[in-house]
Chains A and B, each alone.
Chain A
């Protein structure tokens, strides 16, 4: 009885296990695919730049004296010829007066001696002396008049007062800098370019450059090439390059402020394939490979690729794939050679 029972159990179990071991048709794994796309290799450079004005001059008095007027408001715009500062002109006016009197004296003397000389009463020497005295006093008068005119400083061009270095009523000596005037008809951006980039782009003017001030990345201005130095900085071995603002000068930029210059190389037509970073798997050596979709067999195969650059969440592939190849872009760790897959298509 017992034996029969056990045998029955055994058969029953066997039957059960057989029925469960029916091999199921394995359904393909649904995978997310990405088509490798050709993309232009953008060469983007960013440099910290210093903003400078086209012209920046220091105003100085050529005479000494006490300052009696200054119309210098830093940052204000001044028109050409506008009086900016005045030194007390009284001493210079007196000097002019004095010179004029001396000159008139000399003129009178000359006239007198000339008359006498013509009458052959005076000697030739006296006449010559009077003539040179006349010229000397004339020059002295002109000098005095010029000095008087130097008491007033006028704007040499339309400018912005960059800085003021004097205070009213102070005593000014000849040669003291009064103020700094900047010509903002154009703004320059100068920055240091590493040797490597300089040599790689020698002679290349086909670039698109923009600039923005630090902290105001949303206000971007176009700039263009102006000049560059050909000797590098002795320490950093970088080259000084200058670009200028294309558009009307805005109040946003101040000379001396820091800006960021962004230069895009339009010449570079190199192209590379773009695939998601997530599709890369480390290969046997220290390179990378991807799972390429084989649409005829609906399977995937491992292909070695070479990564040349990363761009955000994407990697640029320099070899191994061709444009339009589809690669698995998710769950790559779960893929294996020859796996039957089906492309995931969003249905809603």
Chain B
């Protein structure tokens, strides 16, 4: 099979292909979907169940347990975590990672069915479980709407209009509105007054219920027509309520509601969550785009739409962006394209310098068309440009040029020797096509472990494998077809027929080194082994990381007050903190979330549960490089200003940032023992000194005030428990006595006591309780004796149905999580666990272990494929063994590079490492093939080794240099920095390995003696 001859004789085919790739690639570049992260389903559903009035323990036993049992039976289940709080149960169900996204709706249906079945087993008073299955939706375009001059209901109206309009934009899937100021109608009632009148709450409730519900009118039948008779409802809702009359029982007098109650429209006393932006009350609009769409376009359309809508609304509404995925994607794709251009330029330039401008054009042209072709095929196969596929292209860049360089260089050399283009192309392609193909497949196979693993990592990283596959295969195809063709046009046939190519100084130096190495091969091998062992030994000095920090200039500060603190206290502290943050130099904006987290605005952000004692600052800095310093400064400032609460700064990371980085999970039965274990673990972390932000997830216990309910006295007085609880509600946070529908908003009507004692507790103790059966008021103290004060658990966390307390901590500012973890792991594991208690590690350790386990599953298969190909390629055993002997040595350059650059070895370095394998093996294969071929062609074995090595020197070092230069710009990109260092360091050493170790090993294996001269 003579591919080169075919392509040179029928150039039109190749030109057609190239033109398709160029035009198609340019078109695809404009149309290809652009996302921040790969479309990835978070296989999680959350089940909420309310059980008002129950303690956390009761909720756990009567609701959480029941629901968990029902879920436990689903085979698709992976992990089940639950939180039981007073009055509220939340269960998070995670589906096995290998189940594909499209199957999920079916699973959620089954989940709902099961929940319906157990509904009747739930205790009286518990709500039906609610399933939230769009938990993983990413609301990547996130706006804050502030209009300080407008009232709450106006803001609400504006946000409704904006939401409606934004929903009409193409590609928008969901718009979530948050932070709407909730309002309620408060009726302040003097309890002694209505007690004097003999009126009760049930009376008032009834009056409101029968007057405020919507009324259906009648209908007339007149002359074959129907005429509707509506009943008009009042326009001023509050006035309507005020003027309702109540008949005083036992009397024919009636009084109006306004005579006994003062009505007012107020923000709810206990809001469920507040949002602020740059110090102003704000409403947030979170937009989620449809899957597989060009988010950049959607972002632009939304901007246009917003501008249109705002033009119609009164001035004074400010819409600011909290997070704009579209912009980030646009920038990162632009950045990538810039990198790509830079790489192509650098490679071409390097080739021009080392091989002359002709080779530069030939190889550079091939490279450009390969990249464009890859983009085209990605577009055709619905692969998007996102973080992972862009990374894959960068990784592939280094390998893309190799094939073309081998072919171009070989062809050029041959043509310089006076051979015709056709002949040289045919010769070099025939000679190298199979080794190159084998090496390319091996390079691809190195990534198969990642791309084809059957779990979440595989789903997330599939595009990496796909892009590597497409681009590398394409680079091989184009190297054997297009490169010869270009070569034909650009290379000149030389006149040095039969002459040995004159050697440059570089070649001569290499020759001396090589001959010496071959001569003293024992020494050479010893040195290589020593270096390798040294490298492995010093691997421990490299910082271990997992995912690098994000280059979005955003960081988080989490606020945690005591678990039993009120949202109003949280609001107070958060407002004070917000001021401090906004006063800090270098900060562009701050979004403040009180009582709940922000939406999941990027895939890797896991929002916290709503919690009254929780708050989140989302701080945007002007410059991403400032973030570590700013994060530390801000959190120190916040802590100094308010030592009573906790502030934890978190720097946004690429990759799943599942909360705290260090997590130790203790599970068992008894909360007291679990807390003891957690205390011991915390003590160890505190003793460490460097580790910061140490806390546990059961948090503080809360105070319970249990008023005694005297059955006997209450029985005589006819006070039921319901009367009792109504009275308590009325005297404390307010009793809901009705609802009022106004437009699309439902106002609760809350009755509160007017002569509230500043001390609510005293007010309660001196209050009156309505006895509904005796229709009279009874003093509270008559039916309740003393108050019992106890402490109770407020959060009971379970994991796979076992109570679990998690101790969380972060590594110090100046170290990686891996370092901190390794320092303390043994100490924590040394804690003696009582029978039936268990310790598990979570956090980064778990996620990286899981990811490595997933890789571990796939990698052996990939390596097997690589090994098999290498054996098949040679049809002999010794050559593959040589290759696989030098592969472990690749680590030397990686270790040296990472140590020098002081970068951690993380997930991206691992990827770089894998691509390094591919490049190293490729070079080795081509060299070995060359040696074999030269021997077959009849050269003396010792001469063949040296000659072959010499002839490979230029392509190998060229490929290395171009790759190193190509990935060099990436050092500045935090996401790719460790990977690029890995490739640069590794490749530099790999080149030496290939050029020295391979011939030496060959000579050892085939027992060929090579003299010094």
Contacts and interface: CB of A to CB of B under 8 A. Distances in A.
Interface of A: 2-3, 5-7, 9-10, 13-14, 17, 20, 23-24, 26, 30, 44-48, 50, 192-197, 214-215, 217, 235-238, 258, 260, 277-278, 280-288, 307-312, 315, 330-334, 336-337
Contacts of B757: 46
A268 B212 CA distance: 51
Interface of B: 190, 192-193, 195-196, 527, 530-531, 534-535, 537-538, 541, 562, 643-646, 672, 675-676, 679, 682-683, 686, 689, 699-705, 713, 716-718, 755, 757-759, 761-762, 766, 768, 771, 774, 776-779, 781-782, 785, 787, 789-793, 814, 892, 895-896, 899-900, 989
19 contacts: A3-B534, A6-B531, A9-B899, A13-B899, A14-B541, A26-B689, A47-B766, A195-B713, A235-B716, A235-B774, A236-B774, A238-B779, A284-B676, A287-B791, A288-B703, A311-B761, A331-B643, A336-B679, A337-B683
Nearest to A316: B789
Contacts of A333: 562, 646, 699-700
B791 A194 contact: no
B720 to A, nearest CB: 15
Nearest to A262: B766
B535 A46 contact: no
A47 B779 contact: yes
Given A3-B530, A258-B193, A310-B789, A214 B755 contact: yes
Pairs of residues from A and B, 10 with the lowest C-beta to C-beta distance, nearest first: A282-B701, A282-B791, A194-B782, A46-B766, A307-B789, A284-B672, A48-B192, A286-B790, A194-B781, A194-B779
A6 B535 CA distance: 8
Contacts of A238: 778-779, 782
A331 B573 CA distance: 14
Contacts of A311: 759, 761
B215 to A, nearest CB: 37
Contacts of A47: 766, 779
A134 B646 CA distance: 108
A334 B790 contact: no
A235 B791 contact: no
Contacts of B683: 336-337
Contacts of A284: 672, 675-676
A26 B676 CA distance: 24
B779 A192 contact: yes
Given A194-B782, A260-B192, A6 B895 contact: yes
* Majority secondary structure, A binding face: mixed
B563 to A, nearest CB: 8
Contacts of B534: 3, 6-7, 10
Nearest to B815: A20
A238 to B, nearest CB: 6
A144 to B, nearest CB: 44
A44 B682 CA distance: 44
B646 A334 contact: yes
B682 A214 contact: no
A196 B896 contact: no
Q: Which of A7, A50, A309, A310 has the most CB of B within 10 A?
A: A310
B527 A10 contact: no
A276 B406 CA distance: 80
Contacts of A309: 787, 789
A286 B675 CA distance: 13
A235 B718 contact: yes
Contacts of A50: 196
A4 B761 CA distance: 76
Contacts of A13: 538, 541, 899
A199 B98 CA distance: 71
B782 A196 contact: yes
A235 B713 CA distance: 10
A64 to B, nearest CB: 30
A166 B782 CA distance: 43
Contact of B762 (A2, A46, A281, A282): A46
Given A47-B766, A288-B791, 7 more contacts: A192-B779, A196-B785, A235-B718, A235-B774, A258-B193, A285-B672, A307-B789
A309 B717 CA distance: 26
Contacts of B792: 282, 286
Given A48-B768, A286-B791, A237 B713 contact: yes
B212 to A, nearest CB: 28
A12 to B, nearest CB: 9
A337 B683 CA distance: 9
Contacts of A2: 531, 892, 896, 989
A290 to B, nearest CB: 12
Nearest to B694: A334
Nearest to A257: B196
Contacts of B689: 23-24, 26
A214 B790 contact: no
Contacts of B716: 235, 237
Nearest to B761: A310
B538 A336 contact: no
Contact of A308 (B195, B646, B789): B789
Contacts of B704: 286
B759 A312 contact: yes
A44 B762 contact: yes
B727 to A, nearest CB: 14
A258 B190 CA distance: 11
Contacts of A48: 192, 195-196, 768
A3 B989 CA distance: 12
A114 to B, nearest CB: 67
Contacts of B705: 310
Given A9-B538, A236-B717, A330 B644 contact: yes
A307 B683 CA distance: 28
B755 A217 contact: yes
Given A2-B531, A237-B716, A281-B701, A288 B644 contact: no
- From B717, B758, B785, residue with most partner A Cβ within 10 Å: B717
Contacts of A334: 646
B11 to A, nearest CB: 47
Contacts of B761: 310-311
A341 to B, nearest CB: 12
B538 A6 contact: yes
Q: Which of B682, B689, B777, B778 has the most CB of A within 10 A?
A: B778
Given A286-B790, A330-B644, A196 B778 contact: no
Contacts of A26: 689
Contacts of B782: 194-196, 236-238
Nearest to A9: B899
Nearest to A10: B538
A118 to B, nearest CB: 73
Contacts of B530: 3
Contact of A214 (B193, B779, B785, B791): B193
A196 B896 CA distance: 83
A330 B755 contact: no
B700 A282 contact: yes
A86 to B, nearest CB: 33
A166 to B, nearest CB: 22
B950 to A, nearest CB: 22
A337 B676 CA distance: 12
Contact of A196 (B541, B768, B781): B781
A26 B689 CA distance: 8
Contacts of A5: 896
Contacts of B781: 45, 194, 196-197
Contacts of B777: 236
Nearest to B902: A13
Contact of A283 (B768, B791, B892, B896): B791
Contacts of A214: 190, 192-193, 755
Contacts of B562: 332-333
**Which of B703, B758, B895 has its CB near the most chain A CB atoms (within 10 A)?**
B703
A331 B705 CA distance: 22
B497 to A, nearest CB: 41
A310 B713 CA distance: 24
